[in-house]
Structure 1
Amino acid sequence: MSDLRESMPALARHEGDWVGTYTIVDIEGKILDRHKSHLTCLFPADGDYSYYQINRYEWPDGKKEEHKFPGTYRDKKLWFDTERIEGKAWEVDDSTIILWFSYKTIPNAYLYEMIQISQCNNYRSRTWHWFKDDRLFKRTLIQEERMQP
């Protein structure tokens, strides 16, 4: 874990709980979906994973989902390989992380996510660019705030 914190200090700043809203739009900007989120970013002191993230989503109609994303650190990147996704994340500068990932259930598709954390560590903005057959087909826009204990 200490290697991950030292090699990816911007990522380490994301530790904790985040609440926000996901807004998914098509390439013309039409809203396709909007839902609330609560993400927990953990850096376990022991175990098989250097990083562990839990994503919880809730829609206005009451639908709820929860997904877990354990990650391993190697080669200055955070790697994911779960039943749902595979991907990797790396730091661009002291406030920006890029994540490339694909859903295992969506053939020929992948996403690039840019994650930006504020200097005060209390706000994040994230954008996903969804590609299928190398063509952009939608975006996810995410605004989050750190939950205060």
Structure 2
Amino acid sequence: MGIREDMPLLARHEGVWDGVYTYYNAAGEKIDEHKSRLFCRFKEGSEHPYHQTNHYTWDDGRTDIREFPATYADKRVWWDNELIKGWAAEVGLDEYNRTVMLYWQRQGDPSLYLYEMIQLSDDGQSRCRTWHWIRNGNLETRTAIQEKLVSRDWAAIEKEMEAQAV
């Protein structure tokens, strides 16, 4: 079986998502916020059958783009790139089939790791995500993310963006 068959909940995340990331320190004070556009792609038969690209924009004009190509094995998506090393898996105990869990560690910083929980709405049109950043066993940061599905057709939107960049 392939990634789509083994991870049907994750496959429901395929597409383009617009959202807002809000970061809070351990005391619950907001320390950052920015908008996002995420491309979640499934490319079966590829070396990286899952590939996510995150576009971030801040109100002050800053931007950042991050690529997260991933491999697939044992009903998990696996990342190992210059930024992170970790995995994503569906939570089988969730009888409603809404929850995906991620674990990753920043490359070069073994004292910091992160757990992420993604909740997909039943209609598949919105999702919320929470990150817990843990350093040396203590909570350092929480990230709350709210997203809406823009389109399942990520390829068409990529083509539009490429055409606009020319």
Structure 2 distance, partners of 1:64, 1:33, is 14
Cα shift at 1:25: 0.2
Q: Match for 2:147 among 133, 144, 147? A: 144
Distance (whole Å) between structure 1 residues aligned to residue 109 and residue 63 of structure 2: 21
- 1:88 maps to 87
Task: Flag structure 1 segments of 5+ consecutive residues without an equivalent.
Answer: none
Q: Structure 1 CA distance, aligned partners of 2:139 and 2:23? A: 13
Decide which structure has greater strand share.
Answer: 1
- Structure 2 residue ranges without an equivalent (≥5): 154-166
The alignment's C-alpha RMSD in Å is: 1.2
Distance in 2 of aligned mates of 1:89 and 1:48: 17
Aligned to 2:103: 100
> 2: distance between equivalents of 1:143 and 1:15?
16
**1:131 aligns to 2:134 (yes or no):** yes
Task: Provide the TM-score with structure 1 as the length reference.
Answer: 0.95
Tell me the CA shift for residue 101 of structure 1: 0.4
Shift of 1:88: 0.5
Q: Structure 2: how far apart are the matches of 1:8 and 1:134?
A: 30
**What letter corresponds to residue 69 of structure 1 in structure 2?**
F
C-alpha distance in 2, partners of 1:98/1:106? 21
1:44 maps to a residue whose letter is K
Question: Which residue pairs with 2:159 in the alignment?
Answer: none
Runs of 4+ residues over 3 Å off in structure 1: none
- 2:12 aligns with 13
Q: Secondary structure at the match of 1:100?
A: strand
Aligned length: 148
**1:126 Cα shift?**
0.1
Matches within 5 A, 1:107-118: 107-118=110-121
TM-score, length of structure 2 as denominator length: 0.86
**Cα distance in 2, alignment partners of residues 123 and 100 from structure 1:** 22
- For 1:105 and 1:147, locate their aligned partners in 2 and report how far apart those are by CA, in whole Å: 34
